[in-house]
Structure 1
């Protein structure tokens, strides 16, 4: 059991992708680091791969209630464990496109330019891919941004059923490519290529989640204390509001204040915003970091996401690991529309019990028939920042997530285009499920970074503008959501932030992180 000290050089709130990646960057300085996680370590057990436990009884979902914009209570699909939501992510690790860093015109509006161009992020993406253990093949994605070399590991390859779709889609003029994915599937790796990866936790530790790839390796290097099942209530500042002086938390049933020199808020876009809002004081009356812009908690985004089952009554899909291919032909202006539609990628193979979790009226034997004959896709389009889409905290302390969907026409068009392709390939029955506010896996945007404190919460290195020693390092910083999975970009930004902190400490910039990769032979 970790003994909690009163003072640390660095205090990191949240043990997810952002906090884990930053801890990895700072640990070699020898400074003392505290990581605080509100949940426990997730046990590796049989229920990790149980459809009933994960989807029906929702054993691992946070036992928490939030309100929507109308005040209606709902239970969010969010996870509080060491590793955060990444414990249940699909492990897709794609770079954002170069075009995503500039003003990008959509049918529904403008995705705003970032304060820095893609070229600033490119070397940090290199590091992020090595940290996460990304498998893929460079040069096959038609929208891929410039990169310095190959991915750390070769692509995992397609099973015959997905290879069929790759061939047929190429015959239609599309350019499918291997989905960059962070699983331990290579010579000497522990991945067995099962069907319980996307949406499940990995009981083998073979998925590149934040606990496995970032946090445990950082702890192994020493001088990091990780405390779990500890809730941070407020961040405290001095009377001027210019410096954080401590965090108020409950640990082992006792309320305490822990002090430090540098503070990192990495609780996720929703909970980081809520924590900063709850920390309002005389110097920060609207929440810490909200004095100049009133943007804290605003511009919440979570993608327009649809799960699609394309069903053939005549043949079974015997694929095990389905999430190996993606299509970006419609990501930017394309042959269908003069504006972006989004990304299509394989979805972890659906099982009958997963379908009945959301359609309790349906007999499982019938849903098994559909699942055995379907190929499954995740269709993702960008939602745009809207200041009225926001996180707030109600007077009773309950979190409110106000969200109105936007850019839906483009998303609907992408779903129709992909359904048309599936029908032309012999899958006439198309079943879709649009994800709603309860699914908060791609949450982002509530503390956007920028070059102007009047329009952003953070500077370009994720420091709160008017607080000298507080950073927010998670998906909060994203000024636009793009139409791609955010994890790799969070890791890349954590590397940028870590480098900036090192410079402020007067440390020599550390050499880029190197990791040993397997030989270029897939398992």
Structure 2
């Protein structure tokens, strides 16, 4: 996988620094761009962490730097769009980096507002012969090709579950039962307020901490990752006029929202076969998900809290909160979904082979985070990108 991770980092213009994350695996090349610099308040937090013996690092970031369009570079410090599309295409996301360039080729067609409802196979059941899709507005589309790869967009949307549960003939990808081992990254946003000074951090997501990812002398098990929350949770100002309150109630938390440094704690999700996606009798998506691995989250939380007094913050200001004002991000707020069609070498315990082809179907590939057999406590995007490049090379080899 390593060469494809490096290729993915180059494709998505990742800014970072090697050798500072204590959990970093070997790499064959440096990041293509230097890390995005810290804001003054985040730099001070970085220095304070180092002073107490921790090992903070610059979080790798995918951003666009464009000398021809300077507004893109200015957007690096912008937090207003957060998870939304950037109006000047300054984000190194799949739309800007992959989809738009692909559409410039004459042999690429993008069919939008279409849901795949059915995969048909030939008489042998070993080859998908047609893909039946439902197009918005009442239309229908049927595509018949000799070779195809099905790239899914995540489990909870429902359509992937339908695709696997209602193929014809029955049995495509069903040997282990549909949608097993749904994975996500359990997360707890924590907001330590009471930051000294008048600074208003805007772009915090340049700092990460993995000192407790695997263990420490007092806890022999993996805990997880600490990173910074995007600052869309704070009011954005145009001059002195607040233009949005974001996730924080402006009337009660203005000072906290403006001056807080926001930590985001993540732990690993343990693969559980009964955490799964199915359909009920009416075709509606049913998610069975029992949270697990809570003890590492508690351990990580307490280790973060004990350092606050030495980092210029008060321990009592580590306030549990998320968009629902509860402790944990519920499934509805989870952006990191994976699993349910895991890959592996043994057809008895996996749906896909190591090339992400369905074990029992010759021309059906699944290329998204569904292939994960487990998930780390960090964003799975780079692994999904790297694996897609890896499978792409495999497909080129087959087609040749």
TM-score scaled to structure 2, two decimals? 0.89
* Counterpart for residue 405 of structure 1: 291
- The answer on 1:170 being equivalent to 2:62 is no
Distance in 2 of aligned mates of 1:370 and 1:489: 35
* Counterpart for residue 305 of structure 1: 187
Contact 2:201 2:258 in 1 (8 A): no
Contact 1:355 1:367 in 2 (8 A): no
Q: How does 1:74-473 map to 2 (within 5 A)?
A: 121-185=1-65, 187=67, 190-192=72-74, 193-251=77-135, 252-270=137-155, 271=158, 273-284=160-171, 288-291=172-175, 293-294=176-177, 296-312=178-194, 314-349=196-231, 350-352=233-235, 353-356=245-248, 363-428=249-314, 429-433=317-321, 434-473=328-367
Contact 1:232 1:247 in 2 (8 A): yes
CA shift digits 1:119-169 (9 cap, x unpaired): xx1001011111111010111111110001110111011010000011000
Q: Secondary structure at the match of 2:264?
A: strand
Contact 1:140 1:177 in 2 (8 A): yes
C-alpha deviation, 1:185, in angstroms: 3.8
How big is the alpha-carbon RMSD for the aligned residues of Structure 1 and Structure 2? 1.8
Contact 1:234 1:278 in 2 (8 A): no
CA shift digits 1:16-47 (9 cap, x unpaired): xxxxxxxxxxxxxxxxxxxxxxxxxxxxxxxx
* Counterpart for residue 84 of structure 1: none
* Shift in alpha-carbon separation, 1:316–1:366, aligned structure 2, 3 A: farther
Runs of 4+ with deviation above 3 angstroms: 185-189, 280-283, 313-317
Distance in 2 of aligned mates of 1:418 and 1:198: 25
Contact 1:132 1:213 in 2 (8 A): yes
* Counterpart for residue 238 of structure 2: none
Aligned residues: 375
C-alpha deviation, 1:219, in angstroms: 1.8
Contact 1:273 1:391 in 2 (8 A): no
Which sits farther off after the overlay, 123-132 or 414-423?
A: 414-423
CA shift digits 1:303-325 (9 cap, x unpaired): 11011111016544422211001
Q: Secondary structure at the match of 1:261?
A: coil
Contact 1:380 1:411 in 2 (8 A): yes
Distance in 2 of aligned mates of 1:175 and 1:236: 53
* Shift in alpha-carbon separation, 1:484–1:125, aligned structure 2, 3 A: same
Which sits farther off after the overlay, 182-191 or 398-407?
A: 182-191
C-alpha deviation, 1:239, in angstroms: 3.0
* Shift in alpha-carbon separation, 1:317–1:377, aligned structure 2, 3 A: farther
C-alpha deviation, 1:483, in angstroms: 1.0
Distance in 2 of aligned mates of 1:451 and 1:260: 27
- The answer on 1:479 being equivalent to 2:336 is no
* Counterpart for residue 43 of structure 1: none
Q: Secondary structure at the match of 2:251?
A: helix
Contact 1:273 1:446 in 2 (8 A): no
Structure 2: tracts of 5 or more residues without a match: 236-244, 322-327
Contact 2:115 2:159 in 1 (8 A): no
Contact 2:228 2:262 in 1 (8 A): yes
Contact 1:311 1:430 in 2 (8 A): yes
Structure 1: tracts of 5 or more residues without a match: 1-120, 357-362, 507-523
TM-score scaled to structure 1, two decimals? 0.69
User: Larger relative contact order (C-alpha < 8 A, sep ≥ 6)?
Assistant: 1
Q: Secondary structure at the match of 2:184?
A: coil
Contact 1:392 1:399 in 2 (8 A): yes
Contact 1:316 1:374 in 2 (8 A): no
C-alpha deviation, 1:246, in angstroms: 1.1
C-alpha deviation, 1:425, in angstroms: 1.9
Contact 1:268 1:443 in 2 (8 A): no
* Counterpart for residue 516 of structure 1: none
Q: Secondary structure at the match of 2:386?
A: helix
Distance in 1 of aligned mates of 2:66 and 2:48: 27
Distance in 2 of aligned mates of 1:272 and 1:128: 27
Contact 1:463 1:472 in 2 (8 A): yes
